[in-house]
Structure 1
Amino acid sequence: MHRSIVNARSVAVLALALVAAPLGAQQRQPAAAQKATVFDVTPYAGYMHFGDIINGPLGTSLKSANAPVVGAQLGLSMGPNVGLVGNVAYGSSNLQVGVPILGGVNIGGTSKHVIYDADVELRMPMQSAGAAQQFTPFAQLGVGAITTKFQESVVKTSSTSFAGNLGAGVDVTVGRGFGVRAMVKDYVGRFDALDNTGLPVKGNTTNNIAGSVGLRLSF
């Protein structure tokens, strides 16, 4: 009789264990699923340093003055540490002539820039525990174009030129589904002054460096 009671208890414990195991797995699965995001959107604002478009005689140059930029990125996850990113940004500034000793002098014209590119994003997996898990460094590499429009009085000209880019930054998780993205990105391109202005010069290949901070929303 005693042995029967022990066997019955053993069977009951085993049955409870078999029932509890799937329930525990179901409870853990949503927690893991919450960390896996399909895509994210990051509106951002920043500041851009434009390179010299044309170098003239006696150390002079023509460029867009450094100016604020705004933009947005759309990211699509392709795996735990790899994703695709589409980006568009806009900036407007004054035309500026570089003069030795005097530095940059605004000449009254305006320059508008629309930047669009597609990138591969590589994210560094963080194994540290605690607060360090909130920080995820990443790097981006891609290609796109820069459309530049110049206007000086009644003279207008524009050019769309190929531009490669390389960027790096860090994502900081603030809460469930959102965080802060800080990034520095270098766009390398050339404004074709010969084809668009008739001037007997070629535009320089320039480094246009943007630093930005945005709100990253994950879905």
Structure 2
Amino acid sequence: MDSRKKIKIIFLFVIFSGFCVCGLIVRNSIKDRCNDEKARDNFNVAYLSEDLMGLMEHVDEDLDRSKNIFVGKVTGKLQYVFGNAVQKIKVTKVIKTKDGMTSGEDILLSGLYTLDLTTENFKEIYTDTGFMDFMKMGDEYLIFADGKLSKEVSMRQNVYPIHKEAITFKTINLSDKKSHVCKKYIDEDGKAATTKYSQVKGCEIATNSGKVLKKFYQIKHKILKKYGVGS
């Protein structure tokens, strides 16, 4: 091989290696941002406006079709893995199961929230939370999950995907948290109805309407009563 070909191959290898390193740096940077609780304050989340209130109607019928319904205590921090949120839960009460779930077992709840990283240079991160707040460490929730993943798919982990049929109410805090109506939000034609997570942080439901907030708690208490949990 002559020297020109060697130089060309070395040059291409260096360029390729550079792209790989840059890709890893960007990926790790995004991962760090997603799993940084403070950085999440700047995430864009959708809020439930009055014209979307219909999404809460008949939600209990959708939830009832879940294969596994249980109460669980959050024992692990939220982690985003390839844009999919997973969190460790200890099952404290089984209400319905198709997979032999038992009280006291530790599971991973998958598919809680998803990320949209399609914006330019990843400057804006949108996460789909189903209008609900992130689950809080130590709190107990009524949880609606689909069928347990096989050991081959879950890398031998005890993984249950969150129920997909319902848009919201898939995880319901057993306690009532002090929620408020967000004041700063986007409401423009052609743009997604979003707000920064910092505007609704700690609220059980993200909304810009007191009417929606009141309806949310009516439905929440109805669902908790139906399954015999909560205060």
Normalised to the residue count of structure 1, the TM-score between the two structures is 0.32
Structure having the larger proportion of residues in strand: 1
Q: Larger relative contact order (C-alpha < 8 A, sep ≥ 6)?
A: 2
The structure with the larger Rg is 1
